């Protein structure tokens, strides 16, 4: 496999293609792209049969070792690759270390080892053990082992240690890769760590960018994964992105992991980042929401995101996003999905996942189209307006909830009503909100109460 970019301009959006992929179908995939996020080799909430119905185009599946570590014994006896083992033979496999959709526990560091928190507990991974896993998985592409346990609050001592460990891991892994007959055609991605210290980032990149076996770079150590990544702003990571993009060889694939929101993704694409993942779709689905932001300024704006747990959608018989061609929107209504979510049916999460992944993939198609047309800044402005409006609504809702609860507790203080305290604690009044009108309906406060 090799990466070919159509632009040699640094710190600018670029189109590229992954070609000569070593599988039966001789696939080629355009970049920028989003890898399909998996857990245990499966897309959360979706079976392989449903995936085949929904996704016709070739995709790259992201397979974290932290959720597939227990596959090693079986894979050592299996002749095929990890993508065949998990039932997704038509997909290109990319093995990563950590799970971008789940918070990586910080700390627990040991010399020459990386801690992984698997379903069976903590395990310690060194370069040799990691490469044993990679050789048994036989992936099309993989990330080298790294110490990415840094974030914006990391101390300089931790950052320096992370860089030292990463350089050591990469050198050891490359030795194994060079001598491996199984991995000769695998696409190798090297991690660039160093937290938010530009000097440490540059030291790590300078040590690794001259390695001949490296085909691309992962900008690692920006966060500890999980839902909190959604709220990291581009301004916080801009200097790190700029440094890596400027100093990295222009023919190398550049990747980031994490649940980045669409606005931040567009800004990173504008700097030259090529590969992301769909873990953002996973966290949106987990909060029973659906992505509805518009990518066309001429279309009717539906809002950035809707939460199907809200009562307003109980009698709404239009699709999640009018005009969307996904299986969910062509067959089912908002009201039906509200019912599924309300009674905790598994089908609810499945339908939301189908829509969110479809919408996210269309988003990347739009990004590639805008790069070709030179209109990416217009797309950024359109999506940012919807995202900012959605964030304002969320903040206003939180403020209203806090004010209503404070008001109810003040009523309790004045009237010392024990039943009211129970209702507040158990959230039995209203939708997790206690206010005067509801309390009056419950008969706890008289209509004339002015407390």
- For the annotated binding site for Zn(2+), the residues are 324, 326, 329, 355
Q: Which two tokens stand for residue 382?
A: 């359109």
Centre a 10 Å sphere on the Cβ of residue 262 and count the other Cβ atoms it contains.
23
DSSP string, 262-288: HHHHHHHHHHT--EEESHHHHHHHHTT
DSSP string, 82-141: HHHHTT-TTSEEEEESS-TTSPPPP---BTTBEEEEETTEEEEE-HHHHHHHHHHH--SE
Q: Which two tokens stand for residue 9?
A: 């301009």
> What is the spatial distance between Cα 356 and Cα 286, in angstroms, rounded to a whole number?
11
Q: Is residue 262 a contact partner of residue 391, using CB atoms and an 8 Å limit?
A: no
Residue 301 DSSP symbol: P
Q: Which two tokens stand for residue 399?
A: 């403020």
**Closest Cα to residue 50, out of 436, 389, 326?**
326
Centre a 10 Å sphere on the Cβ of residue 170 and count the other Cβ atoms it contains.
25
> What is the spatial distance between Cα 384 and Cα 261, in angstroms, rounded to a whole number?
10
Which residues, other chains included, contact 96 with Cβ-Cβ below 8 Å and sequence gap of 6+? 62, 63, 64, 65, 142, 143, 257
Q: Which two tokens stand for residue 359?
A: 């919408």
Which residues is 157 bridged to in the sheet? none
Q: Is residue 190 a contact partner of residue 170, using CB atoms and an 8 Å limit?
A: yes
Residue with tokens 């499945």, as numbered in its chain? 350
3-state SS assignment for residue 192 = strand
Task: Tell how strand 16-19 and strand 29-31 pair up.
Answer: antiparallel
Centre a 10 Å sphere on the Cβ of residue 175 and count the other Cβ atoms it contains.
14
> What is the spatial distance between Cα 216 and Cα 51, in angstroms, rounded to a whole number?
28
Length of the chain as a residue count:
451
Q: Which two tokens stand for residue 42?
A: 């499966």
Q: Is residue 113 a contact partner of residue 160, using CB atoms and an 8 Å limit?
A: no
Q: Which two tokens stand for residue 245?
A: 């993009």
Annotated binding site: 324, 326, 329, 355
């Amino acid at each position: 496999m090799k990466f070919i970019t159509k632009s040699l301009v640094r710190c600018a959006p670029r189109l590229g293609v992954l070609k000569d992929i070593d599988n039966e179908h001789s696939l080629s995939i355009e970049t920028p792209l989003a890898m399909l996020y998996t857990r245990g080799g499966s897309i959360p909430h979706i079976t392989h049969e449903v995936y085949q119905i929904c996704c016709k185009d070739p995709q790259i599946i992201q397979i974290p070792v932290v959720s597939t570590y227990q596959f090693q014994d079986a894979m050592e006896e299996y002749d095929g690759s990890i993508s065949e083992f998990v039932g997704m033979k038509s997909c290109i496999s990319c093995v990563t270390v950590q799970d971008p959709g789940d918070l990586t526990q910080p700390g627990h560091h040991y010399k020459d080892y990386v801690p992984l928190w698997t379903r069976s507990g903590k395990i310690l991974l060194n370069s040799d053990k990691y490469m044993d896993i990679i050789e048994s998985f036989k992936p099309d592409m993989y990330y080298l082992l790294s110490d990415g346990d840094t974030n914006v609050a990391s101390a300089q001592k931790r950052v320096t240690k992370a860089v030292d460990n990463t350089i050591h891991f990469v050198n050891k892994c490359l030795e194994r890769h060079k001598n491996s007959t199984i991995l000769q055609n695998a696409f190798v991605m090297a991690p660039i760590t160093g937290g938010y210290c530009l000097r440490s980032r540059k030291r790590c990149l300078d040590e690794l960018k001259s390695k001949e076996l490296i085909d691309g770079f992962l900008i690692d150590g920006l966060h500890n994964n999980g839902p909190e990544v959604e709220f990291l702003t581009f301004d916080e990571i801009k200097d790190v992105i700029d440094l890596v993009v400027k100093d990295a060889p222009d023919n190398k694939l550049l990747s980031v992991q994490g649940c980045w929101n669409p606005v931040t993704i567009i800004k990173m694409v504008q700097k030259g980042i090529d590969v992301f993942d769909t873990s953002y779709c996973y966290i949106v689905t987990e909060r029973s929401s659906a992505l509805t932001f518009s990518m066309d300024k001429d279309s009717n704006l539906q809002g950035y995101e809707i939460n199907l747990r809200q009562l307003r959608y109980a009698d709404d018989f239009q699709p999640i996003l009018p005009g969307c061609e996904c299986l969910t929107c062509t067959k089912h209504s908002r009201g039906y999905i509200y019912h599924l979510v309300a009674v905790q049916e598994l089908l609810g999460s499945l339908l939301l996942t189908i829509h969110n992944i479809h919408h996210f993939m269309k988003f990347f198609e739009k990004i590639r189209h805008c790069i070709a047309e030179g209109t990416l800044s217009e797309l950024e402005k359109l999506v940012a307006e919807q995202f900012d409006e959605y964030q304002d609504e969320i903040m206003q809702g939180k403020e209203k909830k806090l004010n209503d609860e404070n008001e109810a507790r003040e009523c309790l203080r004045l009237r010392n009503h024990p039943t009211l305290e129970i209702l507040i604690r158990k959230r039995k009044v209203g939708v997790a909100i206690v206010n005067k009108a509801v309390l009056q309906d419950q008969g706890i406060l008289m209509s004339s109460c002015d407390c």
